[in-house]
Amino acid sequence: MATLTETAQAMNKIGKISLVLLAAFFGFKLLSFIFNTYLTVAKPAPVSPPTASFGKLPAIEFPQKLNPELTLRLETPTGGTPNLGDRADVYLMPMARSNFLALDAAKTTAQKIGFSAPPKELTPRRYRFETEDFLPGALEIDIVSGAFTLKRNWQSDPTILADKQLPGKDQAIMSAKSFLSTAGLLNDELSNSRMEVSYLVFSGGQYQKAASLSEADFVQVDIFRPNINDRPVLPQIPAQGIVRIIFSGSAEAGKQIIQVDYHYIPVNLNESATYPIKATSQAWRELQTRQGFIASIGTNSGGVVSIRKIYLAYYDPDESQGYLLPIIIFEGDGGFFGYVPAVTNDWLETPPTYGSPIPSQSE
């Protein structure tokens, strides 16, 4: 029989062996972790390519307009162009199709907003409705896309500018939603869209921004499409929503809305694909060589414009080309906005249009 001393010595040996084995186990785990980390860094798992499941995409058709004589200078916080990643989502934006019920649908919309007389055909898809109720007015509607412009000749009524019961911000937004609801056009997307209210004066035959409500002749509401994946969606005129409604201060309901521009196109956010996008350095070169689109010169009439921000957004067209496409935004001083198509050219059906370069300064 072992003595107490022998038993204690045996237990001591077992304890030491256990500690050695435990230390070896943790050492092995640590070495395995270091080795696996090295393999991950040295040989990262391959990244799956963009799906591009829609095939080649149509090139964005920006409106034609003269570019101003401006010199662009890159002055971002980093002094260079940011990395916006290698891909972006593209969403299905179904194109409207003509059908034999399109004119009836347009007549129904016109009646809901006060135009009940038979329309005049301007083109096979564009019709003009007129009314003399309250104020002389005209409604031109595209029976295929549903886009329309409503204008009332408020100048024919001298009381319009005399009445100053203009709606405040909250009331103007409620009135805009009420108009769309009456026309059968208010859906969840428009109801939850970003809305901006501005005050206008009429001077020199055109609307101009007023400093405050007390100085205004009219109130304007612009409705912009909500951000998609935290990216803004911008129309061809950045400051103008896809829906714009201008209100007068008249106390008569039939004279309160004097202009409406409606260019809303539904987007199917459940149908998307990823596409490779250009490096921002390439997009910057394309903007300088007029392969992009100057959406707004802002208050810049010439000279040097400093580009302060570069980011990814989506282009909201007046007419669908089938898809909601990403663009790279160059935002500068004085309200300057430049757009460059983001999808790489090899995934576009039509090559971009080239033009004379815009002078630039890198410093």
Query: What pLDDT, in 10s, does the model give residues 293-319?
Result: 999 998 887 788 999 999 999 999 988
Per-residue pLDDT, averaged over 91-109, amounts to: 90
Secondary structure (3-state) at 112: helix
**How far is residue 201's CA from residue 212's CA, in Å, rounded to a whole number?**
10
Sheet-wide strand order for 206-209: 120-123, 126-131, 137-142, 148-152, 257-262, 243-247, 218-224, 194-203, 206-209
pLDDT surpassing 50 at residue 354: no
Tell me the Cα Rg of the chain: 31
Question: Residue 353: its pLDDT value, please?
Answer: 53
Q: For the whole model, what pTM was predicted?
A: 0.82
Q: Which residue has the tokens 């003399």?
A: 132
Q: Which residue has the tokens 């030491």?
A: 16
Domain limits, the chain: 1-46, 70-93+269-361, 102-267
* First-to-final CA distance of the chain: 92
Question: Residue 301: its pLDDT value, please?
Answer: 79
Return the HEC string of 264-310.
Answer: CCCCEEEEEEEEEECCHHHHHHHHHCCCCEEEECCCCCCEEEEEEEE
Query: What pLDDT, in 10s, does the model give residues 252-283?
Result: 989 999 999 999 999 999 999 999 999 999 99
* Mean pLDDT over each residue of the chain, to the nearest integer: 87
